[in-house]
Amino acid sequence: MTKRLEGKVAIVNGGGSSGPGWGNGKCTAVQFAREGASVVVVDINRGAAEETAGLITGEGGKALVVEADVTSESDMQAMVAKTLSEFGTLDILAHIVGINGRYTFFDDTEDEWDRVMNVNLKSTFLSARAAVKPMIEQKWGRIITVSSIASLRSLGINQPMTYGISKAAVAKLTKLMAVEFADKGITCNCIAIGMIDSPMVRGMLGEHAEAVSAMRDKGSPTGKQGTGWDTAHLAAFLASEEANYINGLEVPLDAGVTTKAPDIYPDDPAERGQ
């Protein structure tokens, strides 16, 4: 396979995984390394970042672990400084950290609002602001952020409200950065992740994980949820030279969920008057 990121240095925020299995950031970190990049695996959970880095080095790739809280400006600056001192450059930032909200409109609290906005939105701003400086100097860079299909539309009952708002704002921030940095050789794109079977989702659902996972499969036009590898493959393309002229997009990665109308007609043609 062509190594599309050969010689590049990439930071993957949220490069660990919140449980056993493959999250979006973990897959992206491993995929970037398979495409030839040296990867800085950043996570608040050092053990999770070390596991991903171990997978990369086990396959012959180069990885550096940075334990950092993406909501801290000093951590984000230190992360970039460590990347530059280890690898000498920084070409790609994939910011794949996020937490889900838990509350609907009337149940939400100020603390919950702040928590979700900080981890999802403020972190995107702080990490991009730290990472973009060396990219501007070298006149080349890629910034990839993640929103959610919750940014694009209502997800129905019990949708975590603050989560959707934070993700819509991540997409808006990405578009504004895309315009701001376009003439500096930097592209910024956002992946609106759909239903991905990840450790975070399974952890959130607890004992209901299997049942809800089956419902999520059914809700996809393909009959299956996606995996972290779907995110990783799109991120690797957006990070590559091939995506040179793609800038300022929020790309739904959802097998058509956001395109599909609700199932309102019965399966039997006679019952639907045909």
Ligand X SMILES: NC(=O)c1ccc[n+]([C@@H]2O[C@H](COP(=O)([O-])OP(=O)(O)OC[C@H]3O[C@@H](n4cnc5c(N)ncnc54)[C@H](O)[C@@H]3O)[C@@H](O)[C@H]2O)c1
Stretch that binds ligand X, among 10-18, 78-86, 177-185, 238-246 (CB under 6 A): 10-18
Residue 148 interacts with ligand X (CB under 6 A)? yes
State the minimum distance, in angstroms, from the CB of residue 185 to ligand X.
26
Whichever of 132 and 196 has its CB closer to ligand X, that residue is: 196
Stretch that binds ligand X, among 22-30, 55-63, 131-139, 173-181 (CB under 6 A): 22-30
For 273, the token pair is 């008057």
Q: Which of 52, 56, 32, 57 is nearest to 42 (CA)?
A: 52
State the DSSP H helix or E strand holding residue 84, giving kind and residue range, or none if neither: helix 73-87
For 159, the token pair is 């949708």
Residue 98 interacts with ligand X (CB under 6 A)? yes
Residue 198 interacts with ligand X (CB under 6 A)? yes
Round to whole Å and give the CA distance between 26 and 28.
Answer: 5
Whichever of 25 and 134 has its CB closer to ligand X, that residue is: 25
Instruction: Please count the residues of this chain forming the interface with ligand X, following the rule CB under 6 A.
Output: 30
Residue 16 interacts with ligand X (CB under 6 A)? yes
Which residue from 23, 36, 141, 160 is in contact with ligand X, where contact means CB under 6 A? 23
Q: Which of 123, 29, 38, 122 is nearest to 84 (CA)?
A: 38
Residue 71 interacts with ligand X (CB under 6 A)? yes
Round to whole Å and give the CA distance between 192 and 171.
Answer: 8
Residue 193's region, left for phi above 0, alpha for psi from -120 to 50, else beta, is: beta
Residue 201 interacts with ligand X (CB under 6 A)? yes
Which residue in the shown chain puts its C-beta closest to ligand X? 98
Residue 132 interacts with ligand X (CB under 6 A)? no
Strands (E), the chain: 9-13, 38-43, 63-67, 92-95, 141-148, 186-193, 250-253
Catalytic residues: 163
List residues near ligand X by CB under 6 A: 14, 16-18, 23-25, 43-45, 48, 68-71, 96-99, 119, 146, 148, 193, 195-196, 198-201, 228
